[in-house]
Structure 1
Amino acid sequence: MAQEPEAAFSSHSFLGNATSSLAGRVSYFYDFHGPSVSLDTACSSSLTALQVAVSQLRAGECEAALVAGVSVFATPEVFEFAQRSNMLSARGHCDAFGDEADGFVPAEGVAAIMLMSAGKARELGLEVLASIEAISLNHDGMSNGMMAPNSQAQAALIAGSYERSGIDVGRIGYVEAHGTGTRLGDSIEVAGLVNGFRAQAQPYDAYLGASKSVIGHTLVCSGLASVIKTLLIFRHSTIPAQPLAGSLNSTLDLDRFMISEQAVPWPSDKTYACVSAFGFTGSNAHLVLGKPERRQLEPQNSPGPWAF
């Protein structure tokens, strides 16, 4: 649009390129009247939006919340910027936790989930996919560089969230990591996880995975992509394989974490799974989801039409 000034400067292009219209247009279309907010914390954006929605629900500002993330590349600029910053994988593959990790692969994605209280979901006869047990945010502050991940800040986020919410790390069966597929970034993230879990001074063992090895890095949408993967793990009671292009990254100190290249059943003694998302400018988010008990749903009273 910027290359065609006559088309670029119009009421349509102004609204279409305003970040605020992402949420505003959805609220306008569906006639929603609750808080309508567009957020950008880079790769942690959608988990940050989830945390804000949880806060609004708890405050009684709304009785349901639609949380969404979208990453669409209408032009090639994001690839050009990432390439010149040496962020992209030269092989075109995101090898999270792998010895051949050399960068990430940008991917498009659109995701949306609905939040409400468990009581409201039962009243409406809706299937509960998971419970939100804890969600927290923090920032790296001043570290080795604005775009450099900070293991200490990530560990503090995880440990503080678990302590405030009374999370027993021994009941965590799976961690969906940010896992961008860079040797340094993956090592820093694993170190933060290990230190965050060790801070609870409780025995633990959990599987580790990252959706980016399968679908690429959906940037601002990646947090919700990881949430949806975790919801599917709960639904199928199966932890999928974590593909590695070669061998495991030899610099990783996994401690009690496990990475399986084969699908494994969900551990019967575990009730939690976690999701991490870290923005490249230092904004971190960590979520704990509770695995719901399967129950027979009552049929809807309404004849429809129903959303899908």
Structure 2
Amino acid sequence: MSAADSAADPVVIAGMAVEAPGGIDSLPGYWTALAESRDLTGPFPRNRAWPIDRLLSLSQVEGWSQVSDAGGFLDGAGEFDPMFFGITPREAVAMDPQQRVAMRVAWRALENAGINPAMLDGDDGGCYMGVSYTEYGPRGAEVNEYSGYRATGSASGAVSGRISHCLGLVGPTISVDTACASSLTAVHLAASAIRAGDCEWALAGAVCVLGSPAGFFEFSKANALSADGQCRPYSDDANGTLWGEGAGVVVLERESRARRMGHRVYGRILGTQVNHNGKGAPIAVPSTAAQERLIRKTVAAAGIEPALIKMIEGHGTGTAVGDPIELAALQHIYGAAVHPTGDGPLLGSVKSNLGHAQAAAGLLGLIKVLLSGLHGHIPPTRFADNPSRKVDWDSSSVRLAEKLEYWAPRDGVRYGAVSSFGVAGTNAHAIVSMPVLEDIHV
């Protein structure tokens, strides 16, 4: 299909579902929490056999920093109805919870699109899921009651594979690991597959459920973990990131198919791009130059002027190194644009509400943008009252979203952007447009 044909019949988002910390398992619940600027974090789960006393005493070891009893954890991470999905209880226990959570969120995303998940056997649908390994369960090289189920139970590929197997999908089924850029990378691959004719439609999403507290140990040693249990993106008070969990899945298809089948169009995917920092700085250190290149390519692929972007959902991990690097790239492109209304884009990060959900972070941000477009308001980002002094805000029109603000459409459309960056150097960016919808029931 030519570029002109692709623009005339874009890939759209026709359904979505989410699970987030704070007991959130619905789109209305997620939107309300964002609009009310809620803190969705809480103490470490006490039902995962984590060495919590050891975690909280790490700062007593020379060279290690304080670990707070805090994070963004899913209340229902351990809940699952195996028989509903055709899985035996014994096999279900051996499955990484990320597989279980991904299956039920994918099911709800299809229902949200008006699709009966039980009627898809043999359908040419794809499934692209972002996921990272999180050390769930015993080692495979042990003899225990889970032996025989560990291969599929711990494989990252089984996160997407379980979904397609359950639904009977026969299209491309791929799990994606580009660390914290995984979910937007999955969206990019899924949209590209639909445009290329590899599948008629696709599920795209990501999941993160912490099988162990390894990330807290790693970032305590790296002195990059929030000392007080709060993630403060783009704030001058930022003192490190905070780990979280979550899952999000969207249903992608051509707009002509969505209209033909009576599906709602939440948004059009105007452009997605993925790149890498290249060599130079240490692998975990972001690059302003790489992020600028990525954003410019995405804007070009979207075929719009950057001045149309009113909402930016940034990566915003709350680290002293990463945030200023990202801010510089956003300011150079979106902040330098001449905005017709005189108001520049509002920037935020859902990590201020629920922590850093790693592989799922970008999808939680994308769904935030889609819900904002649906409701016509941009929610506040927490801790926006003291912006980082490591960048010059006066030289750019980008500003932090400090309160719930009305989002005026342009010719009946709202435009937003989402960024994600992975610890291994992969960067992903997406631009979506959202038509004004009269019916906001989700």
TM-score (norm 1): 0.91
Among 213, 227, 233, which residue is 2:366 paired with? 227
Task: Extract structure 1 runs of 4+ deviating beyond 6 A.
Answer: none
Among 399, 408, 425, which residue is 1:258 paired with? 399
Structure 1, unaligned stretches of length 5 or more? 298-307
Give 2:329's aligned amino acid. G
Deviations along 1:46-79, whole A, 9 cap, x unmatched?
1001000011100111111001211001222222
Separation (CA, whole Å) in 1 of partners of 2:337 and 2:216: 43
Separation (CA, whole Å) in 2 of partners of 1:246 and 1:296: 34
Structure with the greater relative contact order (CA < 8 A, sep ≥ 6): 1 or 2? 1
Q: Does 1:272 align with 2:427?
A: no
> 2:278 corresponds to which residue?
141
Give 2:171's aligned amino acid. G
Deviation at 1:294, TM superposition (A): 1.7
Give 2:360's aligned amino acid. C
Structure 2, unaligned stretches of length 5 or more? 1-137
> 2:48 corresponds to which residue?
none
Among 429, 434, 440, which residue is 1:286 paired with? 429
Aligned residues: 296
Relative to structure 1, the CA distance from residue 68 to residue 268 in structure 2 (aligned partners, 3 Å threshold; closer, same or farther) is closer
Deviation at 1:295, TM superposition (A): 5.2
Matching of residues 1-308 of structure 1 within 5 Å: 1-2=138-139, 5-7=142-144, 10-197=147-334, 202-204=337-339, 205-244=344-383, 247-254=386-393, 255-269=396-410, 271-294=414-437
TM-score (norm 2): 0.64
Separation (CA, whole Å) in 2 of partners of 1:101 and 1:277: 18
Relative to structure 1, the CA distance from residue 4 to residue 163 in structure 2 (aligned partners, 3 Å threshold; closer, same or farther) is closer
> 1:302 corresponds to which residue?
none
Identity %: 34
Give 2:338's aligned amino acid. P
CA RMSD of aligned residues (A): 2.0
Give 2:397's aligned amino acid. R
* Matched position secondary structure for 1:6: coil
Separation (CA, whole Å) in 2 of partners of 1:35 and 1:51: 14
* Matched position secondary structure for 2:291: helix
> 1:304 corresponds to which residue?
none
Separation (CA, whole Å) in 1 of partners of 2:240 and 2:384: 13
Separation (CA, whole Å) in 1 of partners of 2:247 and 2:406: 28
Deviation at 1:8, TM superposition (A): 8.3
Deviations along 1:22-53, whole A, 9 cap, x unmatched?
11111111110000001100000010010000
Separation (CA, whole Å) in 2 of partners of 1:245 and 1:294: 29
Which stretch shifts more, 162-171 or 277-286?
Answer: 162-171
Separation (CA, whole Å) in 2 of partners of 1:102 and 1:163: 35
Deviation at 1:183, TM superposition (A): 2.3
